[in-house]
Amino acid sequence: MELRTLKTFQVVADQLNLTKAAELLGYTQPTITLQIQTLEKEIGHPLFHRVGKKTFLTPAGKVMKEHVDKLFAVVSQMDKAIKLLDGPNGTLVVAAPEYYWTHYLSQLIRSYVHHHPQVKLKLVSCNSADAVNLITSNEADIGIIAGESGKQEIESRLLEKEQLLLVTSREIYEKHDRDYIMGNYPFIYKESYNLEGLHRQSISELNYHPAAVIESSSEETIKIAALNHTGVALISANLIKDELKSGTLVPLHQLEQRLETNLIFLKDRSEEMTIRSFAELVIQGWTESGKIT
């Protein structure tokens, strides 16, 4: 069965009048009659019968009409869905740590909304590990994270390489010399740094032998622990800019290796226009937006 023939049947079944159907379809009446006869031959049942001057659907015609209406409703939905691929649309969920929202994304979001007002944005503040989980579970469309995702199904786009510092609180720094601090206070680092060997590098660069080790999945938790005089924290300089400026955290060492900041999304969603449009804007404007704040 051809869609064209089924469409002809649908219009005739709606109008129950060949003249009106011909006008709507732009066909001649003989063409419509031929298409209906072909369809009737194909299914083995008559679709219409006449009583006097009136045309009615046969039982087979009623069954055919019910399913043809459903078929073209699906075709219409498909057409709409495909047209949506022509430009950004729908809802876009973006997950990122609070620092990135405050210092980078607020400027970029304003620009994106201006250019794509038809897209509804949902913004999620979370740590990098949670952002990765939200992406893999399809609860978020795009994430901004510190470090690598560690997931094969995730596509990563490098935004910048962050400076990593070993820091402690001002109170600890003023009470003890560096050797005492490094030897007697716990070493606090992010879980993903373990995967990338960054915590081992910080230890080997300084011949560092911490009294204890604390691992966390949250950058914010690490920062708070350092501010609360818990120990020596390995953390991105970007995440503690304000604390370094105010002097509440004091750098003890700067690592040679830098930590990547990545924009992430699922590989199998890379062609979605809404994701692509937001990713392109962030990649192009990331460095400049950081300067503004």
What is residue 286's predicted lDDT score, i.e. its pLDDT?
A: 93
192 pLDDT exceeds 70? no
Fold that domain 91-161+260-292 belongs to in CATH: D-Maltodextrin-Binding Protein; domain 2 (3.40.190)
pLDDT of residue 90: 86
CATH of the structural domain 164-257, one choice from 1.10.10.60, 3.40.190.10, 3.40.50.720, 3.90.1510.10: 3.40.190.10
Start-end ranges of CATH 1.10.10.10 in the chain? 3-84
For the stretch 66-87, pLDDT in tens is 999 999 999 988 887 777 667 7
Average pLDDT taken over every residue of the chain? 89
Per residue in 111-125, pLDDT tens?
Answer: 999 999 999 999 999
Q: pLDDT at residue 197 above 70?
A: no
The confidence band for 14, taking pLDDT boundaries of 50, 70 and 90, is: very high
Domain covering 3-84 in this structure, CATH number: 1.10.10.10
Confidence of residue 195 (pLDDT cuts 50, 70, 90): very low
Contact 238, 167 (CB under 8 A): no
Residue 122's contacts (CB-CB under 8 Å, 6 or more residues apart) are 91, 92, 93, 94
What pTM was computed for the model? Answer: 0.59
User: How far is Cα 57 from Cα 25, in angstroms, rounded to an integer?
Assistant: 19
As annotated, the residues of the chain forming the CATH 3.40.190.10 domain(s) are 91-161+260-292, 164-257
Q: How many CB atoms lie under 10 A from the CB of residue 269? A: 16
Sequence-ordered list of residues with C-beta below 8 angstroms from that of 13, at least 6 positions apart, any chain: 47, 48, 57, 61, 64, 65, 68
Distance CA 184, CA 194 (A): 21
